[in-house]
Chain A
Amino acid sequence: MSDAPDLEFLPGEMGVYFHWPFCASKCPYCDFNAHVADNVSHERWRAAYQRAVSHYAEMLPDKRVVSIFFGGGTPSLMEPESVAAAIDAVRAGWPCSNTLEVTLEANPTSVEAAKLAAFREAGVNRVSLGVQALNDADLSFLGRAHDAAQAVHAIKISQEIFERVSFDLIYARPSQTLEGWRDELCRALDLARGHMSLYQLTIERSTPFYLRSKRGEFVMPGEAMGADFYHLTQDVTEEAGMPAYEVSNHAVAGQECRHNMIYWTGADYIGIGPGAHGRFMRDGAVYASRDHHAPEVWLSRVEADGSGAHPFEAVDAAGRFEAGLMTGLRLCGGVDVEALSKTSGKSFNDMVDLKKLDVAVREGWAVFDGVRLRLTREGILRLNALLPYLLV
């Protein structure tokens, strides 16, 4: 089998996601499946990841792995041996691409040169750092354990050890000004090498921020302000040669995150770890998987029978089409509707209201040449409303 182009995937090519559900402290805006725990048994977790991988390897023998991603939580808190064991298990289970991308999410507080080197030894070739802000006041508002200097230091040593380093920033924060953000973003662009994720702060239910904003302790930027922030971000990053390729992800050409492209182009991925999701083709049908959410439950399930997943759910043709459109339109390059029709088994004309698509094109939200449908910046900003509008 020959190697596929980096960001387009052949049938059978697959990503593997590992979820590490622990953090050193819990951030008040975060609704990820992340817990603060004192004594994590690294041996048990290591064994469980290995066991779950071989379970999937038996179930899905005909796959080929093109990407591995350690997400969290804070996977940089994992022991490098565990990361190595998980990667090795994947390599033992399936043939892997020569250009296998192996990403690990890291927190600036838990990276030191020695540990990063050990992760590289284990097989990691890309890190994504949770920087979040480049000023101390906002970092403390966000409840982060690091300050701006530590963040910059973390970026620098990571770049010494890894060729591919990305970092995350959260913007559109309460009391942030457009000018302040422009400054911070420019500093970030100076530090960045190839890739950045820039997320607008979202107030999630079931986080401390939710209650605090309800109580009026801080005021989030309104919708119009959010749009202004977005435009500013796009203008500045385009100017700097690191345009968005997805709603919140920016890269210089060729440095896009392959793992995320798997999600957004509808390719196969399996999810291993508490609360991890997967989506893959098996015997001609597409299934969605969801692992047990609670770390303890997941662990004991895997130890008992090799899998921590709930029963798989079959995804029908319409579901495949909708998911494909939903994620594909997040990409600045849009979706190849012919390919989507073919892989989902639903024709574009049956699923999309063409009159409404016309309206969206006229309004300047979408561009459609009959094959590729993509949203403009204004269209992407309205994606949540556009989707149900376009779908019949």
Chain B
Amino acid sequence: MTKPLSQIRNFAIIAHIDHGKSTLADRLIQTCGGLEEREMQQQVLDSMEIERERGITIKAQTVRLAYTAKDGVEYQFNLMDTPGHVDFSYEVSRSLASCEGSLLVVDATQGVEAQTLANVYQALDNNHEIIPVINKIDLPAADVDNAKQQIEDVIGLDASEAVSVSGKTGIGIPGLLEAIVKRLPPPHEGDANKPTKALLVDSWYDTYLGVVVLVRVIDGYLKKGQKIKFMSNGRTREIDRVGMFTPKHVLLDELGPGEMGFITAAIKDISETNVGDTITDDKKPCDKALPGFKPSVPMVFCSFYPADAGDFEKLKTSLGKLRLNDASLHYEMETSQALGLGFRCGFLGLLHMEIIQERLEREFDLDLIPTAPSVVYKINMTNGDQIELYNPVDMPDVVKIDNIEEPWIKATILVPDEYLGGLLQLCQDRRGVQIDLTYAGGRAMLVYRLPLNEVVFDFYDRLKSISKGYASFDYELDGYGENDLVKLEIRVNDEPVDALAMIVHRASAEYRGRAMCERLKELIPRQMFKIAIQAAIGGKVIARENVSALRKDVTAKCYGGDITRKKKLLEKQKKGKAKMRQYGNVEIPQSAFIAALKMGDE
């Protein structure tokens, strides 16, 4: 039996990292009896190890709760846990689109943070009713009034009816449950008699079930045995399971209007199930797909090389396994003279990249060499063609280029006043254009347009170090813009080192080139021959360093035992040659390039 719309509440929890979203969700689940005390493990929703550790949610999750309100009616709550980072902002927007309201959780000891803002705006874009929830009021440092004030000043929401709770101790939870019933609206539309229309909220790969599809039904029903169609690609499948999470898997006969749950349909490849797609009945389709569907587009690229060349196959299968569960991960094979065989990978954003790298290293035990992240440039050729450039190495001949466009972002930064100066400088250095600067409650809110290229490298680390960790940062993509961009090439003994090529703004080329040359000079061991290191744009050298030739390295003593030791060393050196790359008359250990890539860009 499905519930009437009036007894359904679909809502999301929005919070900055660590403000207590997962803890609050745990408490709600526990209070509504979704899990017995003994089954509660902390943060039941964050199921992947990496999610739990980093406190971020990568896949959307829903939990259906049964709540009997003071009016005696049993309500169906569908609690949506959205992915918590801008890299997944499209996924967030689709999750939010499946709900009618949000709980905005603000840590009473911290106040509003940048990430909160972006998600609140997305919720408002989806016409959500929002209940401000002031969390962690059990802490001595809690300042409820200040948190409310910030919600009003920074976000502009009325906070007079904010609910104060402690997700940890449970204070205020009963009041919050009532507020959900009274203040959040039931699903706006939903007609049981219309053809099936459901939103594909998210999907993931499960070893036992195949691809599990998280759905929100708008009209009609989803039933076992039904033949459904994915409207974006026209594929049809037969539903073999319908169910919900409580958070345990519970099988149901059907999902009706307004309800959330999951279906499986013997799907093997996650790329068939696009987030934001509309699912309908194959024989009796709805007339129009839901608005807002976008295919996922990678924004940040970098290459991964196995530190041990023998791990190439392992890296390949590992990427394949991750891709099973992450349709937004793109990769293709690549060969680098400096680093050997690897993969060029595309990500939704920086965090996505970091997560993938970490999972490859941790879950698959790979030792990776990542190249510097870069973005996708649009190159307008003199003949009118436009090329998308994914890898600086592939930059066409400059004489054939009319201009280059790079992606921009709109960044929102919240920072305590005392660090403002440093951050303004940082944004300035990174070619930022100020859009807005406002103050609220001892903090400044900065809005800047910045080239994504300037942000992908170490912007976030710099921001954190300048502000001693107090600044928060969020961004959204903001179109492409033409700029004076050049390919900076690093050469060793006149031969380009492909892995170190980068696209930079002409104004910072010399500085970046000099920094890289100096760094390599430190890292390349001296050899019998002089080594010339150069940074060049086109044919023009803009910075150079030399590693002078060594004059003496012979060991003074070599008798019985020394011979054995030296022989062992020689064997090691010979083995090491496999990891050397030839540049002119010298062989340079791959490790020097790896270190150059790892050192970041000061």
How big is chain A's contact interface, by range?
Answer: 35 or more
Contact call B559/A382, Cβ cutoff below 8 A: no
CA gap between A315 and B238 in the complex, in Å? 67
Tell which of B163-171, B240-248, B363-371, B549-557 binds the partner: B549-557
A226 to B550, CA, bound (A): 11
Given contacts A263-B559, A269-B560, A323-B563, contact A389 B574 (CB under 8 A): no
A327 touches B558 (CB 8 A): yes
Most buried by A among B550, B560, B574: B560
Q: In the complex, how many angstroms separate the beta carbon of A294 from the nearest chain B beta carbon?
A: 15
| A residues near B560, Cβ cutoff 8 Å | 17, 263, 269, 271, 276-279
Q: B561 in the interface, Cβ–Cβ < 8 Å?
A: yes
User: For residues 525 through 579 of chain B, which have their beta carbon under 8 Å from a beta carbon of chain A?
Assistant: 527-528, 550-561, 563-564, 566-567, 570-571, 573-574, 577
A227 adjacent to chain B (CB < 8 Å): yes
Residues of A with C-beta under 8 A to B528: 363, 365, 382, 385-386, 389
- Chain A residues whose C-beta falls within 8 Å of the C-beta of B555 in the assembled complex: 202, 247, 383-384
CB distance from B530 to the nearest CB of A (A): 12
B552 touches A230 (CB 8 A): yes
Is A343 among interface residues, defined by CB-CB distance under 8 A? no
Complex Cα distance, B560 from A386, in Å, reads 21
A277-B561, A319-B567 given as contacts; is B527 within 8 A of A385 (CB)?
Answer: yes
1/0 contact string of A271-290 vs chain B (CB within 8 Å): 10001111100000000101
Q: A382-B528, A385-B527, A386-B528 are in contact. Are A322 and B570 (CB under 8 A)?
A: yes
B residues within 8 A CB of A326? 558, 563, 566-567, 570
Q: Which residues of B contact A71 (CB under 8 A)?
A: 559
Q: Complex Cα distance A251/B561, Å? A: 23
Q: Does B2 contact A (CB under 8 A)?
A: no
Q: How far is the CB of A87 from chain B (nearest CB, A)?
A: 19
Q: Contact between B553 and A382 (Cβ–Cβ < 8 Å)?
A: yes
Pair B556/A247 contact, Cβ less than 8 Å = yes
- Min CB gap B589→A, angstroms: 12
B486-530 CB contacts (< 8 Å) to partner A: 527-528
A391 is an interface residue with CB less than 8 A from chain B: yes
* Residues on A with beta carbons closer than 8 Å to the beta carbon of B573: 387-388
Q: Does B585 belong to the interface (CB within 8 Å)?
A: yes
B465 to chain A, nearest CB (A): 30
Q: Which residues of B contact A386 (CB under 8 A)?
A: 528
B550 and A385 contact, CB distance less than 8 A:
yes
A327 to B570, CA, bound (A): 12
Q: Which of A199-223 contact B (CB under 8 A)?
A: 199-202, 223
Q: How far, in whole Å, are A290 and B565 apart by their CA atoms in the complex?
A: 11
Known: A247-B558, A269-B560, A279-B563. A387 touches B551 (CB 8 A): no
Alpha-carbon gap, A304 to B577, bound state (A): 44
State the CA gap A387–B557 with chains docked (Å). 16
Contact with B554, one of A17, A276, A359, A383 (Cβ below 8 angstroms)? A383
A224 within 8 A of partner (CB): yes
User: Is the CB–CB distance between B554 and A380 below 8 Å?
Assistant: yes
Checking B556, B570, B574 against A248 with a beta-carbon cut-off of 8 angstroms, the contacting residue is B556
Pick from B527, B551, B554 the residue with the most CB of A within 10 Å. Answer: B554
Residue A152 CB within 8 A of the other chain = no
Q: Which residues of A contact B557 (CB under 8 A)?
A: 199, 202, 248
Interface residues of A in 361-392 (CB under 8 A from B): 363, 365, 380-389, 391
Given contacts A199-B556, A248-B556, contact A388 B574 (CB under 8 A): yes
C-alpha spacing A359/B565, complex, angstroms: 28
- A330 CB–B CB distance under 8 Å: yes
Closest chain A residue, CB of each to CB of B577: A388
Pick the residue among B550, B577, B585 that contacts A382 (CB under 8 A): B550
Contact B585 A275 (CB under 8 A): no
Residue of chain B at shortest CB distance from A290 = B564
User: Could you tell me which residues of chain A, from 147 to 188, have a CB within 8 Å of some CB in chain B?
Assistant: none
B572, closest chain A residue (CB)? A388
Q: How far is the CB of B165 from chain A (nearest CB, A)?
A: 57
Is the CB–CB distance between A227 and B570 below 8 Å? no
In whole Å, how far is B525's beta carbon from the nearest beta carbon of chain A? 9
Residues B567 and A323 in contact, CB atoms below 8 Å apart: yes
By beta carbon, the residue of chain B nearest A275 is B561
Specify the chain A residue showing the minimal Cβ separation from B567: A323
Indicate if A99 sits at the interface (CB-CB under 8 A).
no
A300 interfacial contact with B, CB 8 Å = no
User: How many whole Å from A92's CB to the nearest CB in chain B?
Assistant: 23
A226 touches B552 (CB 8 A): yes
**Which of B550, B563, B573, B577 is packed against the most chain A CB atoms within 10 Å?**
B563
Residues of B within 8 Å of A388, CB to CB, are 570, 573-574, 577
Question: Which B residue's beta carbon lies closest to that of A291?
Answer: B561
On chain A, the residues within 8 Å of B559 by CB distance are 71, 260, 263
Question: CB-nearest residue of chain B relative to A247?
Answer: B554
Instruction: Give Cα A365 to B527, complex, Å.
Output: 14
Q: Is the CB of A384 within 8 A of B554?
A: yes
Is B553 a contact of A383 with CB atoms below 8 Å? yes
Cα of A359 to Cα of B573 in the assembled complex, Å:
20
> Contact between B574 and A391 (Cβ–Cβ < 8 Å)?
yes
Of B551, B556, B563, B566, the residue contacting A224 (CB under 8 A) is: B551
Query: How distant is A29 from chain B, measured CB to nearest CB, in Å?
Result: 11
A271, A365, A382 — most chain B CB neighbours (10 Å):
A382
Please indicate the chain A residues that have their CB under 8 angstroms from the CB of B558 in the complex.
247, 263-264, 326-327, 330
**Shortest CB distance A76–B (Å):** 18
A271 to B553, alpha carbons, bound, how many Å?
28
Chain A residues near B574: list those with CB within 8 A: 388, 391
Could you tell me if B570 and A382 are in contact, using CB atoms closer than 8 angstroms? no
Q: Are B563 and A227 closer than 8 Å at their CB atoms?
A: no
Q: What is the bound-complex CA distance between A278 and B561, given in angstroms?
A: 8
Please measure, in the bound complex, the distance between the C-alpha atom of A386 and the C-alpha atom of B527, giving whole angstroms.
Answer: 9
Known: A322-B567, A323-B567, A326-B567. A385 touches B553 (CB 8 A): yes
Instruction: Tell me which residues across on chain A come within 8 A of B552, comparing CB atoms.
Output: 223-224, 226-227, 230, 381-382
Complex Cα–Cα for A387 and B556 (A): 15
Residues of B with C-beta under 8 A to A363: 528
On chain A, the residues within 8 Å of B561 by CB distance are: 271, 275-277, 290
B439 shortest CB reach to chain A, Å: 50
Which residue on A lies nearest to B585, using beta carbons?
A: A359
* B564-A381 in contact (CB<8A): no
- Whole-angstrom distance between the alpha carbons of A199 and B557 in the complex? 7
How far in angstroms is the closest Cβ of chain A from B167? 52
Residues of B within 8 A of A322 (CB): 567, 570-571
Are B570 and A263 touching (Cβ within 8 A)? no
On chain B, the residues within 8 Å of A383 by CB distance are 553-555
In angstroms, Cα B549 to Cα A389, docked, is 14
Question: Which residues of B are found within 8 Å of A330, using beta-carbon distances?
Answer: 554, 558
CA distance A249 to B564 in the complex (A): 20
Q: Report the bound CA distance from A389 to B577 in whole Å.
A: 9
Query: For the complex, what is the distance from the CA of A290 to the CA of B577, rounded to whole Å?
Result: 28
Q: For the complex formed, measure the closest distance between the CB of B281 and the CB atoms of chain A, giving whole angstroms.
A: 69
Q: Give the docked Cα–Cα distance between A201 and B560 (Å).
A: 19
What residues of B have a CB within 8 angstroms of the CB of A247 in the complex? Answer: 554-556, 558
Chain A nearest Cβ from B591, distance in angstroms: 16
Chain B's closest residue to A230 (CB) is B552
- Bound complex: CA of A51 vs CA of B568, how far in Å? 30
Scoring B552, B556, B567 by chain A CB atoms within 10 A of each residue's CB, the highest score goes to B552
Least distance between B565 CB and chain A CB atoms (Å): 9
Residue of B nearest to A363 (CB): B528
Known A-B contacts: A247-B554, A275-B561. Give 14 more (CB < 8 A).
A71-B559, A226-B551, A230-B552, A248-B557, A271-B560, A277-B560, A278-B560, A279-B563, A365-B528, A382-B553, A385-B527, A385-B550, A387-B573, A388-B573
CB-based closest 3 A-B pairs? A277-B560, A388-B573, A227-B552
- Please list 26 pairs of residues, one from A and one from B, whose beta carbons are closer than 8 Å in the complex, sorted by A's number: A227-B551, A260-B559, A263-B559, A263-B563, A264-B558, A277-B560, A277-B561, A277-B563, A278-B560, A290-B561, A319-B567, A322-B570, A322-B571, A326-B566, A359-B585, A365-B528, A381-B552, A381-B553, A381-B554, A382-B551, A382-B553, A383-B553, A386-B528, A388-B573, A388-B574, A388-B577
